[in-house]
């Protein structure tokens, strides 16, 4: 085991405040640093994710996104269709990265074009297995 831990996940953006605003609403996280060239989001203070989940750091870059992300976030909602609709209302768009029509997830892009996936909800059986530590 190592003492190494992930501090933050960085996303390049031509407009860090705009992109951070989308993710702040999408995740319900708090903005803990806000400058023109960088914005940081962290989980809500006192939440189970606080101090555990990596921060999101949005950095200003001059160029727009041109190719598929090498890393992306996978989000696990309780209701996939409702979450996709909510995220579209916040400014996300559905996008095709070659995933095909038979996938159980929805690929979306934030306002800066960064892809992320909205996974299907866990089944009751999967939730029982997770609760049992499996």
In contact, 100 and 54? CB cutoff 8 Å: no
Tens digit of each residue's pLDDT (9 = 90 or more) over 17-63: 999 999 999 999 999 999 999 999 999 999 999 989 999 999 999 99
Q: Is pLDDT above 90 for 70? A: no
Q: Say yes or no: domain 8-61 is CATH 1.20.1090.10.
A: no
Which CATH superfamily hosts domain 72-134?
2,3-Dihydroxybiphenyl 1,2-Dioxygenase, domain 1 (3.10.180.10)
Q: What is the mean pLDDT of residues 68-96?
A: 94
Position 71 scores a pLDDT of 86
How many other C-beta atoms lie within 10 A of the C-beta of residue 96? 9
* pTM, to two decimals: 0.87
Residue ranges of the chain that CATH labels 3.30.720.120: 8-61
d(CA 108, CA 25): 15
- Rounded-to-integer distance, Cα 51 and Cα 42, Å: 8
């Amino acid at each position: 085991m190592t003492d190494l831990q992930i501090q933050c996940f960085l996303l390049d953006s031509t407009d860090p405040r705009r992109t951070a605003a989308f993710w702040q609403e999408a995740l319900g996280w708090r903005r803990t640093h806000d400058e023109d060239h960088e914005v940081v989001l962290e989980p809500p203070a006192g939440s189970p994710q606080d101090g555990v989940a990596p921060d999101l750091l949005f950095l200003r870059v001059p160029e727009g996104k041109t190719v598929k992300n090498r890393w992306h976030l996978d989000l696990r909602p309780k209701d996939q269709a409702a979450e996709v609709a909510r995220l579209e209302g916040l400014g996300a768009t559905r996008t095709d990265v070659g995933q095909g029509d038979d996938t159980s997830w929805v690929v979306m892009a934030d306002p800066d074009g960064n892809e992320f996936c909205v996974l299907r909800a866990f089944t009751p059986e999967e939730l029982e297995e997770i609760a049992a530590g499996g």
